[in-house]
Amino acid sequence: MLPSFVDRPKGNEKGEFIALDLGGTNFRVLAVNLDGKGVATVLNVSKFAVHKKYMQGTGEQLFNFIADCINSFLTENGFKRTKTYDLAFTFSFPVQQTSIAAGVLIAWTKGFTAKGVQGKDVVNLLNEALKRKHIDCIRVTALANDTVGTLVAGSYKDPICDLGVIMGTGTNACYREKRSNIKKFKGPDFEGHMIVNMEWGNFDKVRLTCYDRELDASSVNPGAMHLEKMVSGMYLGELARRVLVDGIKRDIIFLNAPHAALIFKRKGSLKTSHMSLIEGDETAGLDQVDEFLKQKGISDSTLDDRILLKRLCRLVSSRAVGLGATAIAAVIIWMDPELRQMHTVAIDGSLFENHPGFPSKMTGVLRKLYGVKAEKIAWVHSKDGSGRGAAIIAAVAAFSEKNRKMMQE
């Protein structure tokens, strides 16, 4: 429940801004234009793979890599180094923010363990890397979480959007709260509202299965991020793999393929993307599943094997859908107990976008919980919300700083 130091935009913000998006195995640099009428257009975008040596090396290595990526982006897209560009840094990890452009990393998630970052202001680390690389045309005006960016991007176009959710490599949510209710907010102005970054991936009140406990014990952060490990794309494939291995040991599946145990013994041998392929196969003989298994070295699967594998994957993903939708419902109940108002939920993330039936299944869960009132809750896919939202936050921050200086003068 972390203060973000930003509220929803007014929708009239204009200009061109740079956004960084770090939250998984890919890092992006974007240029975004805001037209002042609710439309945020991505002008340029570059994507860079974050290799393990940066994820799990030192903080200096990681931020030098980020600065190098910014440098490449500016050069490749012809940005003039004589002009100063306002930049927002989407840093999608638990951060204790102290202002709109300062925040200390609480703990790494999503497989990152870079040393020397936890407990440090990540904006300072970025600025130091920019100085080391002699990049003088960038002014970091805002620090944002991808979930906050998703809500901001959604509300730039739709003013009733009040909840942002990530369903991708990780999972998180944020919502709009009265400043007077935010106990962690120490600012002088308690009037109005602020977006709260919930960091709900660390919610730990859901009962774990033996498979959840095994996965947790083998993770880089055992004992933490329980909800994320049950809901997010980084873990669902591994969770399904552990259930599958147990099923093979119990002689429930692949009875004609004893070597299947060795094939799926390796961690990571069943990915969430594989689950999407398996669950999306609607052919009578599950031909796509058969081809996937053949590529894995299992050429003698039966139709029953394939049906059972699809059912297993669907059980794992359906639990993720149920937990995610119910968590969203819990936040809406907090904001609007009687569900008297319309609510738009801005959602981004590969799981929501790509996994077969994910949005419709979430709607089904809400109908079970709310009945006809579920019609007051609408999903909007806030495509690239983390990037576009960061640019909007940069615009809000730059505008606020300009106003502050004018008042001082």
pLDDT in tens, the chain (409 residues): 888 888 888 888 888 899 998 977 889 999 998 888 888 888 999 999 999 999 999 999 999 999 999 999 999 999 998 999 999 998 888 888 888 899 999 988 878 899 999 999 999 999 999 999 999 999 999 998 888 989 998 998 898 999 999 999 889 999 999 988 888 887 666 678 899 999 999 999 999 999 999 999 999 889 999 999 999 999 999 999 999 999 999 999 999 998 999 999 999 999 999 999 999 999 999 999 999 999 999 999 999 999 999 999 999 999 999 999 999 999 999 999 999 999 999 999 889 999 999 999 999 999 999 999 999 999 988 877 777 888 888 888 777 665 555 555 5
Q: What pairs with residue 275 in β-bridges?
A: none
The verdict on residue 76 lying in a domain is: yes
Q: What range does the domain containing 27 cover?
A: 2-158+382-408
C-alpha–C-alpha distance, residues 84 and 261, integer Å: 57
CATH code at position 115: 3.30.420.40
The verdict on residue 178 lying in a domain is: no
The verdict on residue 286 lying in a domain is: no
Picking from 18, 13, 15, 14, the residue whose alpha carbon sits closest to that of residue 137 is 18
The verdict on residue 142 lying in a domain is: yes
The confidence score (pLDDT) of residue 126 equals 97
The verdict on residue 33 lying in a domain is: yes
C-alpha–C-alpha distance, residues 7 and 178, integer Å: 10
Instruction: Tell me how many domains the chain contains.
Output: 1
The verdict on residue 64 lying in a domain is: yes
The verdict on residue 65 lying in a domain is: yes
Is residue 265 classed as helix, strand or coil in its secondary structure?
coil
The verdict on residue 201 lying in a domain is: no
Point out the residues that are catalytic. 28, 92, 146
Structure-block tokens of residue 405? 């200086």
Residues 155, 158, 164, 170: what is their CA dihedral angle, to the nearest 10 degrees?
-100
Q: What pairs with residue 177 in β-bridges?
A: 194
The phi, psi pair for 161, rounded to 5°, reads -70, 120
